Structure 1
Amino acid sequence: DHFSKLDNHGRKESYRLRHIVEALKDRLLKNPKPTTNLLANQINQALKDNPYGGGVVVRVFRDINSKIEKCSIIDIYLNNQSKETTNPKRQ
Protein backbone atom coordinates (compact mmCIF):
# COMPACT_ATOMS: atom_id res chain seq x y z
CA ASP A 1 0.00 0.00 0.00
CA HIS A 2 1.77 3.15 -1.21
CA PHE A 3 -0.53 5.43 0.78
CA SER A 4 0.71 4.11 4.15
CA LYS A 5 4.32 5.01 3.24
CA LEU A 6 3.51 8.74 2.85
CA ASP A 7 4.09 11.21 5.67
CA ASN A 8 1.19 13.35 6.96
CA HIS A 9 1.80 16.12 4.44
CA GLY A 10 1.95 13.63 1.58
CA ARG A 11 -1.28 11.98 2.71
CA LYS A 12 -3.07 15.33 2.91
CA GLU A 13 -1.85 16.33 -0.55
CA SER A 14 -2.77 12.93 -2.00
CA TYR A 15 -6.24 13.14 -0.45
CA ARG A 16 -6.72 16.72 -1.72
CA LEU A 17 -5.54 15.80 -5.21
CA ARG A 18 -7.87 12.80 -5.34
CA HIS A 19 -10.85 15.03 -4.47
CA ILE A 20 -9.84 17.59 -7.08
CA VAL A 21 -9.65 14.88 -9.75
CA GLU A 22 -13.05 13.47 -8.70
CA ALA A 23 -14.62 16.95 -8.79
CA LEU A 24 -13.18 17.61 -12.26
CA LYS A 25 -14.41 14.24 -13.50
CA ASP A 26 -17.90 14.98 -12.16
CA ARG A 27 -17.94 18.39 -13.85
CA LEU A 28 -16.79 16.95 -17.18
CA LEU A 29 -19.39 14.17 -17.13
CA LYS A 30 -22.34 16.52 -16.53
CA ASN A 31 -24.57 17.51 -19.42
CA PRO A 32 -22.80 20.16 -21.47
CA LYS A 33 -24.15 23.70 -21.12
CA PRO A 34 -24.18 26.31 -23.89
CA THR A 35 -20.91 28.15 -24.19
CA THR A 36 -20.67 31.87 -23.72
CA ASN A 37 -19.97 32.34 -27.43
CA LEU A 38 -22.99 30.27 -28.44
CA LEU A 39 -25.24 32.25 -26.10
CA ALA A 40 -23.82 35.54 -27.39
CA ASN A 41 -24.37 34.41 -31.00
CA GLN A 42 -27.97 33.44 -30.25
CA ILE A 43 -28.66 36.80 -28.56
CA ASN A 44 -27.06 38.70 -31.46
CA GLN A 45 -29.11 36.70 -33.97
CA ALA A 46 -32.31 37.44 -32.03
CA LEU A 47 -31.46 41.16 -32.08
CA LYS A 48 -30.86 41.00 -35.85
CA ASP A 49 -34.11 39.06 -36.43
CA ASN A 50 -36.13 41.76 -34.65
CA PRO A 51 -34.32 45.07 -35.34
CA TYR A 52 -37.32 47.16 -34.25
CA GLY A 53 -37.78 45.38 -30.93
CA GLY A 54 -36.59 46.73 -27.61
CA GLY A 55 -34.29 43.82 -26.78
CA VAL A 56 -34.10 40.10 -26.10
CA VAL A 57 -35.38 38.18 -23.08
CA VAL A 58 -33.35 35.07 -22.19
CA ARG A 59 -34.79 32.61 -19.68
CA VAL A 60 -32.37 30.13 -18.12
CA PHE A 61 -33.88 27.28 -16.12
CA ARG A 62 -32.18 24.77 -13.83
CA ASP A 63 -34.11 21.91 -15.45
CA ILE A 64 -37.06 21.31 -17.77
CA ASN A 65 -39.61 21.25 -14.90
CA SER A 66 -38.47 24.52 -13.29
CA LYS A 67 -40.88 27.39 -12.80
CA ILE A 68 -39.91 31.00 -12.29
CA GLU A 69 -40.96 32.01 -8.79
CA LYS A 70 -37.96 34.08 -7.78
CA CYS A 71 -35.28 35.04 -10.24
CA SER A 72 -32.38 37.38 -10.86
CA ILE A 73 -32.80 39.91 -13.63
CA ILE A 74 -29.75 41.22 -15.44
CA ASP A 75 -30.26 44.30 -17.59
CA ILE A 76 -27.53 44.67 -20.19
CA TYR A 77 -27.57 47.87 -22.21
CA LEU A 78 -25.77 48.10 -25.54
CA ASN A 79 -23.87 51.16 -24.27
CA ASN A 80 -22.04 48.77 -21.84
CA GLN A 81 -23.88 49.83 -18.67
CA SER A 82 -25.19 46.81 -16.79
CA LYS A 83 -27.44 46.52 -13.78
CA GLU A 84 -28.35 43.33 -11.89
CA THR A 85 -31.38 43.07 -9.62
CA THR A 86 -33.24 40.29 -7.89
CA ASN A 87 -36.95 40.30 -8.61
CA PRO A 88 -39.44 37.99 -6.88
CA LYS A 89 -41.92 36.91 -9.53
CA ARG A 90 -44.95 34.68 -9.04
CA GLN A 91 -46.58 32.69 -11.82
Structure 2
Amino acid sequence: MPAPAGFFKARWRGEVPQRVLFWRDMVLVGTLINLLATGVALAMAASGASMALAAGLHFSPLPYNLFLVAAVWRLPASTGCRWASLGWLAIVTLV
Protein backbone atom coordinates (compact mmCIF):
# COMPACT_ATOMS: atom_id res chain seq x y z
CA MET A 1 0.00 0.00 0.00
CA PRO A 2 1.50 3.36 -0.99
CA ALA A 3 2.18 6.07 1.55
CA PRO A 4 -0.40 8.87 1.61
CA ALA A 5 2.07 11.28 0.00
CA GLY A 6 2.61 8.81 -2.83
CA PHE A 7 -1.14 8.48 -3.30
CA PHE A 8 -1.57 12.21 -3.79
CA LYS A 9 1.59 12.68 -5.86
CA ALA A 10 0.65 9.93 -8.30
CA ARG A 11 -2.77 11.44 -8.89
CA TRP A 12 -1.50 15.00 -9.18
CA ARG A 13 1.17 13.97 -11.68
CA GLY A 14 -1.29 12.04 -13.81
CA GLU A 15 0.39 8.69 -13.14
CA VAL A 16 -2.92 7.00 -12.33
CA PRO A 17 -5.16 5.83 -15.20
CA GLN A 18 -8.27 7.93 -15.78
CA ARG A 19 -10.63 5.04 -15.09
CA VAL A 20 -9.01 4.40 -11.70
CA LEU A 21 -8.93 8.06 -10.69
CA PHE A 22 -12.46 8.82 -11.83
CA TRP A 23 -14.38 5.62 -11.14
CA ARG A 24 -12.60 4.14 -8.13
CA ASP A 25 -11.10 7.11 -6.33
CA MET A 26 -13.78 9.68 -7.05
CA VAL A 27 -17.07 7.94 -7.71
CA LEU A 28 -16.68 4.94 -5.41
CA VAL A 29 -14.36 5.95 -2.56
CA GLY A 30 -15.09 9.67 -2.65
CA THR A 31 -18.84 9.13 -2.62
CA LEU A 32 -18.58 6.68 0.29
CA ILE A 33 -16.48 9.15 2.29
CA ASN A 34 -19.01 11.92 1.63
CA LEU A 35 -21.99 9.72 2.52
CA LEU A 36 -20.33 8.67 5.77
CA ALA A 37 -19.49 12.27 6.72
CA THR A 38 -23.02 13.41 5.88
CA GLY A 39 -24.63 10.54 7.78
CA VAL A 40 -22.60 11.21 10.91
CA ALA A 41 -23.26 14.95 10.61
CA LEU A 42 -27.01 14.33 10.35
CA ALA A 43 -26.89 12.01 13.35
CA MET A 44 -25.02 14.66 15.32
CA ALA A 45 -27.54 17.33 14.36
CA ALA A 46 -30.44 15.05 15.28
CA SER A 47 -28.91 14.32 18.67
CA GLY A 48 -28.69 18.00 19.49
CA ALA A 49 -25.02 18.66 18.78
CA SER A 50 -23.91 22.04 17.58
CA MET A 51 -25.06 22.78 14.03
CA ALA A 52 -21.69 24.40 13.33
CA LEU A 53 -19.93 21.17 14.32
CA ALA A 54 -22.30 19.09 12.19
CA ALA A 55 -21.83 21.42 9.21
CA GLY A 56 -18.06 21.30 9.68
CA LEU A 57 -18.15 17.52 9.61
CA HIS A 58 -20.38 17.50 6.54
CA PHE A 59 -17.96 19.74 4.63
CA SER A 60 -14.76 18.11 5.94
CA PRO A 61 -14.26 15.96 2.78
CA LEU A 62 -14.34 19.09 0.58
CA PRO A 63 -10.53 19.50 0.29
CA TYR A 64 -10.22 15.86 -0.81
CA ASN A 65 -13.08 16.33 -3.28
CA LEU A 66 -11.48 19.44 -4.74
CA PHE A 67 -8.17 17.61 -5.06
CA LEU A 68 -9.80 14.75 -6.97
CA VAL A 69 -11.59 17.13 -9.33
CA ALA A 70 -8.36 19.05 -9.96
CA ALA A 71 -6.50 15.79 -10.59
CA VAL A 72 -9.13 14.73 -13.15
CA TRP A 73 -8.87 18.11 -14.89
CA ARG A 74 -5.08 17.71 -15.10
CA LEU A 75 -5.39 14.48 -17.08
CA PRO A 76 -4.96 14.83 -20.84
CA ALA A 77 -7.97 14.19 -23.07
CA SER A 78 -10.53 13.61 -20.35
CA THR A 79 -13.19 16.13 -21.39
CA GLY A 80 -16.17 13.91 -20.51
CA CYS A 81 -14.74 13.02 -17.13
CA ARG A 82 -13.88 16.66 -16.46
CA TRP A 83 -17.48 17.81 -16.68
CA ALA A 84 -18.75 14.71 -14.90
CA SER A 85 -16.32 15.42 -12.06
CA LEU A 86 -17.78 18.91 -11.64
CA GLY A 87 -21.28 17.44 -11.52
CA TRP A 88 -20.12 14.89 -8.94
CA LEU A 89 -18.55 17.67 -6.86
CA ALA A 90 -21.79 19.67 -6.88
CA ILE A 91 -23.84 16.64 -5.86
CA VAL A 92 -21.63 15.45 -3.02
CA THR A 93 -21.18 18.97 -1.69
CA LEU A 94 -24.87 19.78 -1.59
CA VAL A 95 -26.24 16.42 -0.52
TM-score normalized with structure 1 length = 0.27
Higher helix residue share: 2
> If the length of structure 2 is used for normalisation, what is the TM-score?
0.27
Query: Which structure dedicates a bigger proportion of its chain to strand?
Result: 1
Q: Kindly name which structure, 1 or 2, has the bigger radius of gyration based on alpha carbons.
A: 1
